[in-house]
Amino acid sequence: MTQIDFLGKSKFAVVLSAVLVLASVLALVTIGLRAGIEFTSGIQLVIFYPAETDLATDAVRSHVIEILAAEGASGTNFSVQRVTADREGTQLMGKMITVQTTSDDLMDRLQEAFTRPAAGSGIPSPILTPGGSPDVSITRIEPMVTREITTRAWQAILVALGAMLLYIAWRFRLRYGVAAVIALIHDVAITLGVFAVAGLEFNLPVIAALLTVVGYSLNDTIIIFDRVRENVRAAKKTPLWDNINRAINQTLTRTINTASTTLIPIIILFSFGGAPLRGFAVAMLLGVVVGTYSTFFVASPLLYWWSVTAERARARRR
């Protein structure tokens, strides 16, 4: 078993964590998150073209830029993705255009431009359905819907953190639960800060990734805390500092193996998953790395400092 003094290195780690969390909060306040269409408003067009049409994504993107410039909305966020569908055994190729806007006029202009493209635009007409209308799926996200989604997303995160705090406080002690939840907040804050600085889109898949990371990080923390409790019971006269360090070292191999095997599919997803899954993969990648770090250098030191402070307080009252 390795003998690394994790708590001895926690002084430097706490400074690093404080700097990263502060920088993340500043980035969230000053830069902000680039919210996906689920949290703003906009239009999503899914258009299928004839099989012989070789329509490049860049051509569609250029046409969207021209429309936005003509409507005085050059700074509007949008994305263009390649999609496929199977209709009665026939493979169809198409484009999914997502534009974040609250302007009804701009939404109508985009819908018209791609369902009935003007001559010379370089955009072909969509294939027709059996009824003779363009094969286009149009989804409009309204502000009222986005507000409800935003509220429920934050509620999901807060309820998850609260439930975890209560469970750990019941399963262990309150100090264990508070230390674990602070470590989770640390992980989420840094991940969101990176998203703000990098300008990555924050959408529902990213929230799913954050909740997954919260569960992953909590699992690591609980395993170490459980080993700490076992060590304290087995060696009551051993200083808590040594018992916590011993618990981390006892689970170190397992933690590294788990993190490594988790990172392999995430890296593959990041490399080959394409634009739709890029934000999800980045959130998972950051969460696993930061979550493993916080288990060693945030949750465990917090547990130690709280326990020592509580012991000193009890000694003074005697």
Q: What is the tens place of the pLDDT at every residue in 179-198?
A: 888 998 899 999 999 999 99
pLDDT for position 282:
93
pLDDT for position 35:
78
What are the residue ranges in the chain where pLDDT is below 50?
none
pLDDT for position 286:
93
Domains of the chain, CATH where assigned: 6-37+145-313 (1.20.1640.10), 42-141 (3.30.70)
DSSP track, the chain: -----HHHHHHHHHHHHHHHHHHHHHHHHHT--EE-TTTS-EEEEEEEE-TT----HHHHHHHHHHHHHHTT-TT--EEEEEEEEEETTEEEEEEEEEEE---HHHHHHHHHHHHSPPTTSS-PPPPBPTTSSB-EEEEEE-HHHHHHHHHHHHHHHHHHHHHHHHHHHHHS-HHHHHHHHHHHHHHHHHHHHHHHHHT-EE-HHHHHHHHHHHHHHHHHHHHHHHHHHHHHHH-TTS-HHHHHHHHHHHHHHHHHHHHHHHHHHHHHHHHHS-GGGHHHHHHHHHHHHHHHHHIIIIIHHHHHHHHHHHHHHHHHH-
pLDDT for position 145:
60
